[in-house]
Structure 1
Amino acid sequence: MDILVPVGMLIGFGSLLMAFLLEGGHLTSLVGVSPFLIVFGGTIGATLIGLGLEEVRSLPGLLKAVLANKKYDLMETIERLAEYAVIARREGFPGLEKQLEDTTEPFLRTALQLVVDGTDPEYTRAILEQYIYTTSERHAKGVKIFEAAGGYAPTMGIIGTVMGLIHVLSNISTPDKLGPSIALAFVATLYGVSTANLIWLPIAAKLKAKSDKERIYQELVVEGVLAIQAGKSPTALRTALLAFLSPGKQQQMQRQPVKEAQMGEV
């Protein structure tokens, strides 16, 4: 589980509530059923209007992806690809077929299978890049769903406030109730703005960040597999793929011994 998601929300909402209490506020004044219905119901309803049935069905999976803690270890992947290059140079592409059984990551397995099958390099690149494109497009749709919700929520909050003020002005004959009624009216704006900036938009940002990490991993695999197909040495492959790492990790890998040397030059 990605612990930063609940921790971040807890810190965000907790800070708002703590600041409110420090100013002498009371939590009960922030509770309102009507503002809640207007903001959450209105936001969800408006978001659903712009979605197709397939996108609606994908929502549980998107929420699961937000909380999932799937990691892409680029350094480990580079080392694995370098090992595959050693095997390919010693035993040929059929030697990689044994590695398929131990490869659980779907994209890497697909890429290796194309190599084992002797697929033309240009066609291999085309197939894998199509995988990357369709995956990125699918992820982008998920991001847009929560970005849309983040755009609707503040507007729904304003609508709730306007509705509350209409109710206040229609009962202006009872001035002793004006203060609490006006305060309740502005609770809707608070709900709208806070949920947009602490729930919907952060979820969209999280999905985009995870999509970017997966895309970088997939692009690394593509370049590594094509290098193996081209018969590049493990050292050359390893050096070329260092570009996908941050400067700090590049230096870390450069200090590590090349496994090709340990296994014997081929």
Structure 2
Amino acid sequence: MDIGTIIGFVGATALVLVSMVLAGTLGMFWDFLSVIIVFGGAAFATLIAFPIDVFIGAIKAALKTLSQPTTKPTELIDVAVECADTARKGSILALEKVSIEHEFFAKTVRLLVDGYEPDIINAMIDLEINNLKARHKSFRDVVEQMGSATPAWGMIGTVIGLIVIMANLSDPNAIGPGLAVALITTLYGAIVANMIFIPLAGKLKYRTNEEITHMRIIREGVNSISKGENPRAIRQKLESFIAPSQRSAGEE
């Protein structure tokens, strides 16, 4: 699990709940109809804007942000150095014996072993990166749309509640509780947008950039291997993609 995401969500939820308890009771902040209006309205409105497969893909992508990335950039660098060392001691064909768990890295090395020119491999990787950007942007757009829609639907629920109140002005005792329920919908919309969807959109963007960095490390590594560069020089080159604190030399 991504500890940062979990801490952020739990902390924000606790802050809201504690504020509600200090202000009164949790029960006074609960209204099922408001939940239906905010979540249901935002979801259906988003489905109007995006195809259902993109909507479902965005949900899956958002859930993946709760987990830690399976591959670290330092691991990719280690694999690239190992491949470079193997190729220098034998040949490019010797890379067939190297076990590579990262699917995209293994696929790229296979292209090199099969005799594809580095320029062709670069073009294929660039195409993969561009398609990844487009695909992930569509997922992020869905989440951002939900973040924009939930406050709007919260306001819609509030307006509905106010209309009901205005229609029952003959009963003064119903105005206070009715107004409270109407405002709860706006509260739900603001909380959901700022505690869930907007942060998730930011995390999706971060993960996209992280994955693109991995692909660029692979591209540069394969290029260097094809040129027969020294493994130590390859490591220094690839470590320029990561923070100094993560580099093997422990630079600052």
Contact 2:20 2:29 (C-alpha < 8 Å) held by counterparts:
no
Residues 246, 255 of structure 1: CA spacing in aligned structure 2 closer, same or farther, 3 A cutoff?
closer
Q: CA deviation at 1:196?
A: 0.4
Contact 1:163 1:185 (C-alpha < 8 Å) held by counterparts:
yes
What is the match of residue 16 of structure 1? 16
Q: CA deviation at 1:5?
A: 3.3
The one-letter code sitting in structure 1 at the alignment partner of 2:21 is L
Contact 1:72 1:214 (C-alpha < 8 Å) held by counterparts:
no
What is the match of residue 52 of structure 2? 53
What is the match of residue 176 of structure 1? 173
In structure 1, how many angstroms separate the alpha carbons of the residues matched to 2:38 and 2:236? 53
What is the match of residue 145 of structure 1? 142
- Deviations, residues 72-126 of structure 1 (Å, cap 9, x unaligned): 3222221221121111111110000111xx2121110111111111111111100
Q: How does 1:45-194 map to 2 (within 5 A)?
A: 45-99=44-98, 102-194=99-191
Q: TM-score, normalised by structure 2?
A: 0.94
Residues 116, 11 of structure 1: CA spacing in aligned structure 2 closer, same or farther, 3 A cutoff?
same
1:243 aligns with 2:243: no
Residues 186, 213 of structure 1: CA spacing in aligned structure 2 closer, same or farther, 3 A cutoff?
same
Structure 1 segments (4+ residues) deviating >3 Å: 3-7
- Deviations, residues 146-196 of structure 1 (Å, cap 9, x unaligned): 100000000111111111111111111111121111111100000000000
The one-letter code sitting in structure 2 at the alignment partner of 1:90 is K
Q: Indicate the SS of the match to 1:70.
A: coil
Residues 3, 54 of structure 1: CA spacing in aligned structure 2 closer, same or farther, 3 A cutoff?
same
Contact 1:84 1:228 (C-alpha < 8 Å) held by counterparts:
yes
The one-letter code sitting in structure 1 at the alignment partner of 2:240 is A
Q: Indicate the SS of the match to 1:123.
A: helix
Q: TM-score, normalised by structure 1?
A: 0.89
Structure 1 residue runs without a partner (length 5+): 257-266
Q: Indicate the SS of the match to 1:72.
A: coil
In structure 2, how many angstroms separate the alpha carbons of the residues matched to 1:22 and 1:119? 66
In structure 2, how many angstroms separate the alpha carbons of the residues matched to 1:194 and 1:53? 25
What is the match of residue 223 of structure 2? 226
Structure 2 residue runs without a partner (length 5+): none
In structure 1, how many angstroms separate the alpha carbons of the residues matched to 2:55 and 2:79? 38
The one-letter code sitting in structure 1 at the alignment partner of 2:41 is G
In structure 1, how many angstroms separate the alpha carbons of the residues matched to 2:250 and 2:19? 49
In structure 1, how many angstroms separate the alpha carbons of the residues matched to 2:29 and 2:103? 48
Contact 2:221 2:238 (C-alpha < 8 Å) held by counterparts:
yes
What is the match of residue 215 of structure 1? 212
